[in-house]
């Protein structure tokens, strides 16, 4: 009988710790997915600003990082990123590349280098026209 009481007490303590860890967001809470947004842009500073603001306000899950890849860089997109980055609730990184091949290599490197629980969304913007790619 004492063994049954000790076992029941151990199970109760285990369940209490598991629930406390779940509520506190500890290791028993499960994996916390984060999302990265990769914005590949060419010649469209205004669209960059719009996507950055929308990502902050209305994305499905909280964004943890935004990478802006500027193809054939112009000062307009860089200035917008530098102006908005301190105001955003997430990290904003600016990369300038010479052509679309380099941009594709950067996107592949981001996807390969990210953690398994990170979802990477890629948005291509060319002259104000926005195309999205599948999230990985």
Write the DSSP string, the chain.
-HHHHHHHHHHHHHHHHHHHHHHHT-GGG----EEEEEEEEES-HHHHHHHHHHHHHH-SS-EEEEEEEEES--HHHHHHHHHHGGGSSSEEEEEEESSHHHHHHHHHHHHHHS-TTEEEEEEEEETTEEEE----
Asked if residue 124 lies in contact with residue 38, where contact means CB atoms within 8 angstroms, the answer is no
Q: What is the pTM of this model?
A: 0.66
**pLDDT attached to residue 28:** 39
Higher-pLDDT residue of 107 and 9 is 107
- 2-54 per-position pLDDT tens digit: 667 766 665 565 655 655 555 554 443 444 567 888 888 887 777 778 877 77
With tokens 């199970």, the residue in question is: 11
Do 24 and 31 meet the contact criterion of CB atoms below 8 Å apart? no
* Phi, psi (degrees; rounded to nearest 5) at 126: -125, 110
pLDDT at 113: 82
pLDDT value at residue 112? 87
99: left (phi over 0), alpha (psi -120 to 50) or beta: beta
């Amino acid at each position: 009988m004492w063994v049954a009481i000790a076992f029941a007490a151990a199970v109760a303590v285990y369940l209490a710790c598991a629930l406390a860890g779940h509520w506190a967001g500890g290791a028993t809470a499960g994996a916390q997915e984060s999302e990265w947004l990769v914005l590949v842009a060419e010649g469209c500073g205004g669209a960059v600003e719009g996507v950055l603001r929308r990502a902050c306000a209305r994305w499905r899950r909280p964004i943890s990082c935004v990478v802006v890849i500027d193809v054939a860089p112009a000062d307009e997109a860089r200035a917008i990123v530098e102006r908005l980055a301190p105001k955003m609730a997430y990290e904003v990184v600016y990369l300038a590349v010479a052509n679309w091949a380099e941009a594709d290599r950067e996107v592949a490197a981001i996807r390969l280098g990210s953690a398994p629980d990170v979802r990477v969304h890629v948005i291509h913007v060319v002259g104000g026209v926005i195309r999205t790619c599948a999230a990985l």
